[in-house]
Amino acid sequence: MADSELPTRPKPEETKEAAPAEGGDSKNASKNALKKAAKEKAKAEKAAARAAQEKAQAAAAEANDTAKGLYGPIPETADVISTTRFSELSEEYYEKEVTVVARVDNARVQSAKLAFLMLRQQGQKVQAVIAAAEPISRQMIKFTGGLNVNSIVQVTGIVKKPEIPISSATISHLELHIRKVYMISEAAQMLPMQVKDAERPPPTEAEEGQVDAEGAPIVTLKTRLDNRVLDLQTETSQAITWISSGVAQLFSEYMIKSGSRWIFTPKLVGAATEGGSNVFEVKYFKRNAFLAQSPQLYKQMCIAGDMENVFEIAPVFRAEDSNTHRHLTEFAGLDFEKTFQNHYHEVLEFAEDLLVFILTQLKERYAPQIATIQKSYPKAGDFKLPKDGKALRLNYMDGVALLKEAGVDMSEQERFENDFTTAMEKQLGHIIRDKYDTDFYVLDKFPMAVRPFYTKADPKDSRFSNSYDFFMRGEEIMSGAQRINDIKELEESMRSKGLDPTQEGFEDYLNAFRQGCPPHAGGGLGMNRIVMFFLGLPNVRLASLFPRDPQRLRP
Amino acid sequence: MADSELPTRPKPEETKEAAPAEGGDSKNASKNALKKAAKEKAKAEKAAARAAQEKAQAAAAEANDTAKGLYGPIPETADVISTTRFSELSEEYYEKEVTVVARVDNARVQSAKLAFLMLRQQGQKVQAVIAAAEPISRQMIKFTGGLNVNSIVQVTGIVKKPEIPISSATISHLELHIRKVYMISEAAQMLPMQVKDAERPPPTEAEEGQVDAEGAPIVTLKTRLDNRVLDLQTETSQAITWISSGVAQLFSEYMIKSGSRWIFTPKLVGAATEGGSNVFEVKYFKRNAFLAQSPQLYKQMCIAGDMENVFEIAPVFRAEDSNTHRHLTEFAGLDFEKTFQNHYHEVLEFAEDLLVFILTQLKERYAPQIATIQKSYPKAGDFKLPKDGKALRLNYMDGVALLKEAGVDMSEQERFENDFTTAMEKQLGHIIRDKYDTDFYVLDKFPMAVRPFYTKADPKDSRFSNSYDFFMRGEEIMSGAQRINDIKELEESMRSKGLDPTQEGFEDYLNAFRQGCPPHAGGGLGMNRIVMFFLGLPNVRLASLFPRDPQRLRP
């Protein structure tokens, strides 16, 4: 049933022994060569035997344990525990006792009398120390230093100023001197991937299974996505998921403020009306259904239904066999559709202001997250917005001229035979950045020949259309247009594009125009692409929680 | 391909001649008997001939037309037209000139010198009058009175106080004396259904095709949904779609304020993990995929990925062959999942406050819409909320006791063999309304036997579970629980429910717990059901833009 090409269990060669029970730096533990699998097994058995022996010794020692009740499984209590978040911690907490809940990022026994924990909370790290001194016992130190990496623990301790800042911690100017440590959720000793190994940007496929200069395993994007729950725990992933959340939030904020109604149109549709080959087929009781490739026809039907201004935030499905850095088979679509009074530029300006609002507010509200992400993905640099707060708008033919000026062969585009290629779009992005100092811009007036049937032709020059694309760093993030709202014009346009208006599945859509429909325009944004290009991520999969592509259906 | 049982074209017998060209009341025009189809055709041909003749006459008369340029197709102009909305109109506009864009709800020629238009804007109606007086010509009166019903027109006129209020208009204390009238989008003469006929609540199937006491055709819910674009144009539909929008908006507002992250989890999944029979199968390139029945496993994986507090607004797919008033195969799900520190009641209280917030704010923000809807659906009455602003919470067994007290046989429920039946739930709703004066309440501590495998058992009494359902007017709108976050406990629970933890598709989910996962709880709300029960609608399809059920895949 599920994707059999993909590993369904953590491969032993990809795992790494987490937190050895006694001493040693986990960084140098088990490299990921295939032949080590057998060794690992023997080691695990030995560890189990040792664990049993230790348990017996522990039981014998328990009577003498001065730290009894200060560590171990979390005790049941009716007391309400008040915890402090890492993000709250500051110098003001020096010498105060706090209780935190965090993951063990690393655990290390230095000696019988001293152990270190690196604690991690949503990617942020704080060091904790435990030293033997009444009532802290050697047993408690052993327990603490032997905690499995990634376990979730509740730690109570005194916040201290460290002698020198702890460079390996995110919060380096304080450390926790442990008083109590309880297990909340224990992680397995073997993890398929270490969260710390996902903290570095993904390397190429060729580097998979290699180690880097410091001896740490290199994990590819594939390994990270296969183990996405661990991968989400890095500070960078945490920050990216905040930006995704922010884009959706800002889009809905802007739309609601404009008086728009939030709509939910069906994803299960009766016919493949928007291009048959790229549509997923669904078994629907005794017949077939299809997954909507966009809410295009339905949001227009809402306009015909007098809703005037509508938006939708919903998955969009594309059965396109594209295995590129920017294609997904399922992504979050941000769609809107709006009537206008005099000219479609009313809607175009509305959409330009929408994007300027989203991008400006992202910078304002998510500055710490953006800074975190830039540490991992610095290449693209800051996203440049137009200084005057208004989007740069050029005509399609201006774009053609700029590329021609730069020596690109634009003859096909000048003859309206083809839209820009991806390479042309990217080059145009560079040219516009150099010339206008912005990474966001709009091209208006695309040739009618390269746009879908429902696009309104420019009444003054029918070779062109009242349609526009939005670009971020030279890649398309939105396509939109004025739509034809006259039934005769619409049927003619369909026929001129080789579509049959009497084809099954179009009746309801076409009837909407037979019954009178006001002039309207709109657009559809790809949320994941906005996140990707805003942050300069190398792959759209990094901007999706659980990405779907032709090869990937899990996790 | 598409649903062949359903009509793909408006049936002539369902149509009604809209706005006869000369005089007469369209109310009495063509009844919908099958045998009339032929007559209609002949009539249409005759009308076409007459239209051609009129056109010739019109051309001849044009030279003498004093109203030339004041009516007809909308002229092209570079001027910016400023329009007034019906909702803005008030006594302050008396004697002022306004321009409105609206649909023709009805057009009627009274005499050669007088015609009436009923104009409709998002369901609201205003009367317009046109009388012959320089420069208004007889030709212009004929044009205006002969406008096809549902056409969109731009009308300029003087706002006047009518001698007596216009009872058939929504805004009865003013009328428009027409100066200019232009066609923006012409509706066909034949509509499959009149919007005015959809303004009355849907009758039973048996009444379909009948006429009511006033001779107006009765249209069933099926006809209305088949012609949903027209149906959406009624004032009641407009109001309902605002409430739907409001529920989504208020949910996201509350979640965002709580620090929650907006997530988008995949709807295309590799395995049917949540009960195989109710899942839709999708052709996914060379293999099969399934449509997610809920984001349950994925939102828990986000929690395991340290996201702490997440929410999702997305379609949910159920391949259940249920043809009831409250089941859809696709609906809008409002989901959330949250870690807690001490007790799952932290999350339960959070969810209770969420619902109180949504329902209270709906009443506050959408009072006019609620009043409009109640005119069509008065039966259920006002939705009663708890007076103290806190949800009423009872235990499941309290519910059993209340029903037993009322004489219901609860022996199966007392033996934990079955959950409440729908009839029991409804009765309990009445009992609770009578006793506690609220239509919203929560049942906590459901028997473990009736809950899904991932539900946490009550640590104090394993017959029960830390799970809850939310009810509105005695019908379930949310199910939620603390989830098991310990891998051993989870695997045991799966086995005890007859599930195999090693089954394909569960690995990624179970690995999330092997890698450590904090305690958490959550819930899933059905947006359409909240709208339905809040408003007391008789059918959930009225609370869905384009509903999907086993029989319906269109429009």
Question: Using one digit for the tens of pLDDT, what is the confidence trace for A279-296?
Answer: 999 999 999 999 999 999
Q: What would the two tokens of residue B465 be?
A: 């579970």
For residue B104, is pLDDT > 60? yes
With respect to residue B548, please indicate whether it lies within any of the assigned structural domains: no
Question: Which residue among the candidates A138, A177, A200, A327 is catalytic per the annotation?
Answer: A327
Question: Which residues in chain B have their CB less than 8 angstroms from residue A288's CB?
Answer: 1
Is B341's Cβ below 8 Å from some Cβ in A? yes
User: Tens digits of per-residue pLDDT, A292-321?
Assistant: 999 999 999 999 999 999 999 999 999 999
Say if the Cβ atoms of A515 and B546 lie within 8 Å: no
In a domain, B12, yes or no: no
Per the CB < 8 A criterion, the answer to whether A187 and A167 are in contact is no
Domain that holds residue A424: 237-543
A35 within some domain: no
In a domain? residue B348: yes
Note the pLDDT tens digit of each residue in B150-188: 999 999 999 999 999 999 999 999 999 999 999 999 999
Dihedral Cα B207, B212, B215, B216, nearest 10 deg:
-70
B137 and B248 share one domain: no
| Per-residue buried b or exposed e for A90-101, using 16+ beta carbons within 10 Å of the residue's own CB | eeebeeeebbbb
- Interface contact B261-A248, CB threshold 8 A: no
Instruction: Tell if the CB–CB gap between B545 and A187 is shorter than 8 Å.
Output: no
Domain shared by B276 and B350, yes or no: yes
Q: What is the mean pLDDT of residues B272-279?
A: 75
Torsion, Cα of A9, A10, A12, A13 (10° steps): 120
Q: Which CATH number is A414's domain given?
A: 3.30.930.10
Q: Integer distance in angstroms from the first to the last C-alpha of chain B?
A: 14
Q: What three-state secondary structure class fits A33?
A: coil
Residue A4 in domain = no
How far CA B328 is from CA of B176, B241, B318, B540, in Å, comes to 44, 17, 8, 8
The CA distance from B177 to B95, in Å, is: 10
Residues 432-491 of B with CB under 8 A from A: 459, 485-487
pLDDT, residue B446, reads 97
Residues of B in contact with A281 (CB under 8 A): 282-283
Q: Which of residues 480-519 of A touch B (CB under 8 A)?
A: 485-487, 504-505, 507-509, 511-519
Lowest mean pLDDT among A188-202, B120-134, B289-303, B305-319: A188-202
Do residues A171 and A248 share a domain? no
DSSP 8-state assignment for residue B88? G
Smallest Cβ distance to B332: which of A1, A101, A264? A264
Q: What is the mean pLDDT of residues A235-243?
A: 97
Q: Would you state the pLDDT for residue B516?
A: 97
- Higher local confidence (pLDDT), A46 or B166: B166
Per-residue model confidence as pLDDT tens digits over A473-505: 999 999 999 999 999 999 999 999 999 999 888
- Final residue in a domain of this structure, among B185, B220, B245: B185
To the nearest whole angstrom, how far is the Cα of B554 from the nearest Cα of chain A?
6
Residues A510, A402 share a domain: yes
**Closest Cβ–Cβ partner in B319, B508, B517 for A554:** B508
Where residue B208 falls among pLDDT bands split at 50, 70, 90?
low
Q: Which of A449-458, A490-499, B266-275, B492-501 has the lowest mean pLDDT?
A: B266-275
Does any CB of chain A come closer than 8 Å to the CB of residue B249? yes
DSSP for A88-105, written as a single string: G--GGGTT-EEEEEEEEE
Of B159 and A201, which is predicted with more confidence?
A: B159
pLDDT of residue B3: 34
Q: In the predicted model, what is the mean pLDDT of chain A?
A: 89
Asked if omega into B135 is within 30° of 0 (cis), the reply is yes
Q: Does residue A232 register a pLDDT over 90?
A: yes
* Chain A contact probe: residue of B3, B229, B503 with most A CBs at under 10 A: B229
Contacts of B87 in chain A (CB under 8 A): none
Instruction: For residue B209, name the pLDDT band (cuts at 50, 70, 90).
Output: low
Q: Is the pLDDT of residue B12 over 80?
A: no
- Residues in B closer than 8 angstroms to A516, CB to CB, are 103, 150-152, 185-187
Number of domains composing chain A = 2
User: B275 pLDDT band (50/70/90 cuts)?
Assistant: low
Catalytic (active site) residue A343: no
**Does A470 reside within a domain?**
yes
Where among A147, A164, A185 does a domain terminate?
Answer: A185
What is the secondary structure of A128-163 as a DSSP string?
A: EEEE-BTTB-HHHHHHHHTPPTT-EEEEEEEEE--S
Cβ contacts of A101 on chain B, cutoff 8 Å: 341, 518
Q: Are residues A426 and A289 both part of a single domain?
A: yes
ipTM score assigned to the predicted complex? 0.88
A479 is known as an active-site residue: yes
Whether the CB of B124 is below 8 Å from some CB of chain A: the reply is no
Asked if A119 and A247 sit in the same domain, the reply is: no
pLDDT value of residue B135: 93
Contact A1 B512 (CB under 8 A): no
Q: Could you tell me if B171 and B241 lie in one domain?
A: no
Confidence (pLDDT) at B11: 33
Helix (H) or strand (E) holding B469: strand B467-472
Tell me whether A554 touches chain B (CB under 8 Å).
Answer: yes
**What CATH number corresponds to the domain at position B153?**
2.40.50.140
Cα angle at A530 between A525 and A536, to 5 degrees? 155
What is the arithmetic mean of pLDDT over B50-62? 72
Same-domain pairing of B360 and B467: yes
pLDDT for B24: 35
Last residue of a domain, one of B122, B156, B185: B185
| C-alpha B256 chain-centroid distance | 24
Q: How many CB atoms lie within 10 A of CB B322?
A: 12
**8 Å CB contact of A264 and B315:** yes
- pLDDT value of residue B17: 33
Average predicted confidence (pLDDT) for chain B: 89
Q: Is pLDDT at B515 greater than 50 in this prediction?
A: yes
For the record, the structure tokens of A377 come out as 């993905």
Candidates A187, A267, A553; nearest CB to B269: A553
Same-domain check for residues A362 and A454: yes
Residue B507 contacts by C-beta under 8 Å, 6 or more apart in sequence?
A8, A9
For residue A81, how many other CB atoms are within 10 A of its CB? Answer: 13
Any CB–CB contact under 8 A between A409 and chain B?
A: no
- Strand ordering across the sheet containing B261-262: B261-262, B309-317, B330-339, B520-526, B475-483, B467-472, B440-444, B392-395
pTM confidence score: 0.88
Q: Is the pLDDT of residue B33 over 60?
A: no
> Residue A7's pLDDT band (boundaries 50, 70, 90)?
very low
User: What percentage of chain A has pLDDT greater than the value 90?
Assistant: 79
Q: Are B506 and B493 in contact (CB under 8 A)?
A: no
Burial class (CB in 10 A: 0-12, 13-18, 19+), A164: exposed
What backbone phi and psi angles, to 5 degrees, belong to B8? -100, -10
First to last CA, chain A: 14
By CB atoms closer than 10 A (0-12, 13-18, 19+), residue B450 is middle
Per-residue confidence (pLDDT) for residue A226, from 0 to 100: 95
Residues facing residue B481 across a β-bridge = B467, B522
Residue A17 in this model has a pLDDT that exceeds 50: no
> Is A195 part of a structural domain of the chain?
no
Flag whether A224 is in a domain. Answer: no
Same domain, B179 and B248: no
Tokens of A385: 């917005």
Residues B437, B509: one domain? Answer: yes
Tell me if residue B165 falls in helix, strand or coil.
coil
Q: Is residue A181 packed enough to be buried (19+ CB in 10 Å), middle (13-18) or exposed (0-12)?
A: buried
Q: Do B122 and A187 touch (CB under 8 A)?
A: no
**pLDDT of A218 over the 90 cut:** no
pLDDT at residue A464 greater than cutoff 50: yes
B80, B173: one domain: yes
